[in-house]
Amino acid sequence: MQFAKGHGTQNDFVILPDLDATVDLTEARVSALCDRNRGIGADGVLRVARAGVLVEAGVLDVLPDGVAADHWFMDYRNADGSVAEMCGNGVRVFAHFLRASGLESEAEFVVGSRAGARPVIVHAVSGATADVTVAMGRVRELGTSTATVAGREFTGLGIDVGNPHLACVSDELTAAALADLDLTSAPDFDASFFEHGVNVEILTPIRDSGVDMRVYERGVGETRSCGTGTVAAAAAALRADGRAEGEVRVRVPGGEVVVTVADGSATLRGPSVLVASGSLDESWWSSLGR
């Protein structure tokens, strides 16, 4: 079975072209594939198929709002095998792969996700790297909540970007102090507020139209970047700055993206790199739990 490997600001993914949607993508298989010792290693898996084919195969029960049967659909899985509604870095890599593989001939098209339709623009491709903008849809504020990281309580803004986030803007936090924060363990959070878990972002306030952010992702752990997380972080940082909209450069350990929030919706622009492609050993793949 063919695969490709790519990343968006070092949030990395195994891409599985599965145009007939015949691959049984069990949790055991996804977690093996994402394991950095016994598999290829990644933060998540992106299965590539058209939305209607995934409905016919029973992978999707119905077409999500705004997603048409002929739209390419990013069937996203976290490294632990769990399904998530949306992946902002993943959509950039997914769109880049479609263009680079010739599956998509247009530079502007719609990618379907469980959170709905996500229009993309693949601005330019140079070698292994592309510059991609994703329309990330509505950014919905959920109210304030807290998370405890390394014994320290942070207050944040719950934000729905199709998936759940708690974006904690810490006024006195410097980029250096953020880098020193111990994020090796999962933050404690209010499970009654976030019934389906949450991605937790810790970030500095806006300085020179930018923020520094780190993230502990639901279903993965600390990642070097989280695209939906950068959108949540930008929205929370703007709110903390007394603004409902604006453009924010979000620096993450894996690089930098630009988030624009306007009229309650956001766009995310950043790089995608396609690192490699290859084939999975069939006997290895079939030996994994069903």
Shortest reach from residue 270's CB to ligand API, in Å: 10
Q: How far apart are CA 241 and CA 266, in angstroms?
A: 17
Structure tokens at 256: 């930098």
Binding residue numbers for substrate: 11, 78, 88-89, 163, 199, 217-218, 227-228
DSSP 192: T
Q: What is the DSSP string of 110-155?
A: EEEETTEEEEEEEEEEETTEEEEEEEEEE-EEEEEEEEEETTEEEE
Shortest reach from residue 105's CB to ligand API, in Å: 26
If the CB atoms of residues 89 and 170 are measured against ligand API, the closer one turns out to be 89
- Reply yes or no on whether 226 is catalytic: yes
- The CA-based angle 109-42-159, given to 5 degrees, is 60
Shortest reach from residue 249's CB to ligand API, in Å: 17
Interacting residue ranges for ligand API, rule: CB under 6 A: 11, 43-44, 78, 84, 87-90, 163, 199, 217-220, 226-229
Catalytic position from the list 51, 226, 252, 261 = 226
- Three-state DSSP state, 25: coil
Contact (Cβ atoms closer than 8 angstroms) between residue 122 and residue 83:
no
- Residue keyed to tokens 């719950």: 158
- Reply yes or no on whether 87 is catalytic: yes
If the CB atoms of residues 89 and 272 are measured against ligand API, the closer one turns out to be 89
Contact (Cβ atoms closer than 8 angstroms) between residue 237 and residue 205:
yes
Contact (Cβ atoms closer than 8 angstroms) between residue 50 and residue 98:
no
If the CB atoms of residues 170 and 228 are measured against ligand API, the closer one turns out to be 228
Contact (Cβ atoms closer than 8 angstroms) between residue 213 and residue 233:
yes
Binding residue numbers: 11, 78, 88-89, 163, 199, 217-218, 227-228
Shortest reach from residue 224's CB to ligand API, in Å: 10
Backbone angles phi, psi at 34, to 5 degrees: -85, -10
Q: What does each C-alpha distance from 288 to 59, 65, 240, 241, 284 come to in angstroms?
A: 19, 34, 47, 49, 7
Catalytic position from the list 87, 132, 157, 266 = 87
Shortest reach from residue 201's CB to ligand API, in Å: 11
If the CB atoms of residues 81 and 210 are measured against ligand API, the closer one turns out to be 81
If the CB atoms of residues 145 and 163 are measured against ligand API, the closer one turns out to be 163
Which residues are designated catalytic?
Answer: 87, 226
